[in-house]
Amino acid sequence: MVLTLYGALFVVLGFLMDTPEGILRGLRQIILEPDFLITDYIGVGGLGAAFVNAGILTLAAIFILYRMEIKVTGATISTVWLMTGFGLFGKNIFNVWFIMAGVWLYAQYQKDKFIKYVYIGLFGTSLAPLVTQIMFITNMSRWVSIPLGMAVGVFVGFILPPVSAYLMRVHQGFNLYNIGFTAGIIGTITVSVLRSYGLNMETRMIWTTGNNQILAMILVALFALMILIGFYLNGKSMKGYKNFYKYSGRLVTDFVILEGFAPSLLNMGINGLFATAYVLAIRGDLNGPSLGGIFTIVGFSAFGKHLGNMLPIFIGVFLGSLTKVWYINDPSIVLAALFGTTLAPIAGEFGWKYGILAGFLHSSVVLNVGFLHGGINLYNNGFAGGIVAATLIPIIEAFKKEE
Amino acid sequence: MKHDRLKISKIVDELMNYCFYMGSTNIHVDVQETDEFFKIYCKCDYKDSNLKKVEKMVKLLNCTKHEELEEYYWTLTGDCDVANELSLVGMMTDEATVKYSEGQDIEITLYRYKQNKE
């Protein structure tokens, strides 16, 4: 119910920020424009349309999970908040369904229940920009490009379940956005093939500025409400909150199952406030992509993240800004810090020094891997995080003393 | 069901990893397959100083079954010796009982029922 409330709240906020005509026009633009990284839907369709898009996607994800009679866990919460966050930059009410259909077809092919694959389907919509790219952006006839875009989306969804389960072993669960790693590899192969046929993937940077005040107010209200609800449901106490710091956060650390919903809500609200304060403190911009990063932190605060394992990652990215050629508030680096917390379990398991190292390396790797998939994998940080974790973990293990 | 027997093997791997983590030097594992279920029985000793690890194991194994998580994450079981995935084992099994008392071996019994496909 709390999740549904938040989804509905986004739709309401959207309508408060724009007229119905403006929202419809904005939604049309969001659907037709390319979605690959970095496309801020606030810049494409306006604040109202972006919020309505995110709200509808959130409610749709909740509806699917509700119909499947899934018990609410940390995985449920992280999935739903991921849909909200990326509903502001890359996923829209049109482009996500083909990948979901592909995953559903895979379940049918295996004569298995869709419930087992529903999270892979929802997470897997990270490749949704591929659908739009092929449908509307190529210079092919629409009679060819639209069915082709649909078919590619369905095909990608169809191969996601086995590939994602297989690749989990590569980083041993130390990269929280495993689908990002999987989608990065599938996206790299797909885009390589498309480039071989002459498709030119141009870079894109739609990054809005100037909305910090209104968005900060919304975020602070959202997260404060989250803390208040969590505090109330937790018997008006912070009981259980400090237990989170005992967990490394490595997959699968489901805080809702392990510690309960109310303390998890507290953790989510606190981490949301921290992430918002971070963006404001470095004089970054609050917009679709950075809100996406904040919401992803909030979602995964029910599924592995806490301040103890996230802080070293932020410090690693910050230290990188002192020595490398970019600034801490460059768009890609703001996202690298927020989404780089995909590597939080490294700090949680091996200690803060390795966490800082992971953040330091991640902030460089993430700037270089986007080219490989042409920005069609929205979880680019999950792709980079997978590479960093797969390299760091065996090295750390090799030099770790046996217990 | 895909990889059903491999999942049992990996659950056993995970249990054994944790037994070693608790300081076990004598581990017995018995796996039984029937038409309805897989039963995994494990008996092991542990170091008295590791009682907290035993209590943690009881908590993690008692996670309720979550088949929606299993298909995505099951490959992580038994694959890592620096961290454990016992909560995932709990999510992959239908029943878990752990018996232990001071100075006695621990007895762990897990059931994983075979389910009908839709």
Residues A222 and A153 in one domain: no
Q: What is the domain extent for residue B102?
A: 4-112
Whole-number Å distance between alpha carbons of A394 and B31: 31
Give the CA distances from residue A16 to residues A9, A214, A301, in Å, rounded to whole numbers and listed in that order. 10, 12, 29
Banded pLDDT at A401 (limits 50, 70, 90): low
Residues A14 and A44 in one domain: yes
Among chain B residues, CA nearest to A160: B72
Residues A102 and A158 in one domain: yes
Domain presence at residue A403: no
Quick one: what percent of chain A has pLDDT higher than 70?
A: 99
Residues A262-308 pLDDT 10s: 999 999 999 999 999 999 999 999 999 999 999 999 999 999 999 99
Q: What is the pLDDT of residue B118?
A: 40
pLDDT(A124) > 90: yes
Domain presence at residue B20: yes
Domain presence at residue A201: no
Nearest CA distance, B117 vs chain A (angstrom): 6
Residues A303 and A189 in one domain: no
| A169·B79 Cβ contact <8 A | yes
Q: What is the domain extent for residue A162?
A: 2-196
End-of-domain residue from the set A196, A221, A244:
A196
Domain presence at residue B92: yes
End-of-domain residue from the set A149, A165, A196:
A196
Whole-number Å distance between alpha carbons of B91 and B9: 16
Across A4-8, A59-63, A131-135, the highest mean pLDDT is recorded for A59-63
Write out chain B's pLDDT in tens, 118 residues: 678 899 999 999 999 999 999 989 999 999 999 999 999 999 998 888 888 889 889 989 988 888 889 888 999 998 887 788 899 999 999 999 999 887 788 999 999 998 644 4
Tell me the three-class secondary structure of A333-392, residue by residue. Answer: HHHHHHHHHHHHHHHHHHCHHHHHHHHHHHHHHHHHHHHHHCCCCCCHHHHHHHHHHHHH
| CA angle centred on A64, ends A63 and A67, rounded to 5° | 85
Partner A, chain B 10-49, Cβ-Cβ below 8 Å: 21
Letter string b/e over residues B28-47, b meaning 16 or more CB atoms within 10 A of that residue's CB: eeeeeeeeebbbbebbbbbe
Q: What is the pLDDT of residue A402?
A: 61
A254 vs B76, B80, B87: nearest CB: B87
Whole-number Å distance between alpha carbons of A197 and A396: 42
Domain presence at residue B85: yes
Residues A386-396 pLDDT 10s: 999 999 999 99
Domain presence at residue B118: no
Element (H, E) at A145: helix A142-171
Pseudo-torsion of CA A31, A376, A110, B12, nearest 10°? -130
Q: What is the ipTM of this complex?
A: 0.86
Mapped onto helix, strand or coil, the DSSP state of residue A201 is: coil
Q: What is the pLDDT of residue A186?
A: 95
Domain presence at residue A203: no
pLDDT(A176) > 50: yes
* Mean pLDDT to the nearest integer, A212-222: 95
Domain presence at residue A402: no
Q: What is the pLDDT of residue A398?
A: 87
Nearest CA distance, A361 vs chain B (angstrom): 22
Residues A354 and A261 in one domain: yes
Residues A186 and A56 in one domain: yes
Q: How many domains does chain A have?
A: 2
From chain B, the residues in CB contact with A403 under 8 A are 21
Residues A339 and A222 in one domain: yes
Domain presence at residue A14: yes
Q: How many domains does chain B have?
A: 1
End-of-domain residue from the set A168, A196, A224:
A196
Give the CA distances from residue A221 to residues A9, A113, A179, A236, in Å, rounded to whole numbers and listed in that order. 12, 39, 31, 19
Residues A132 and A274 in one domain: no
Residues A217 and A141 in one domain: no
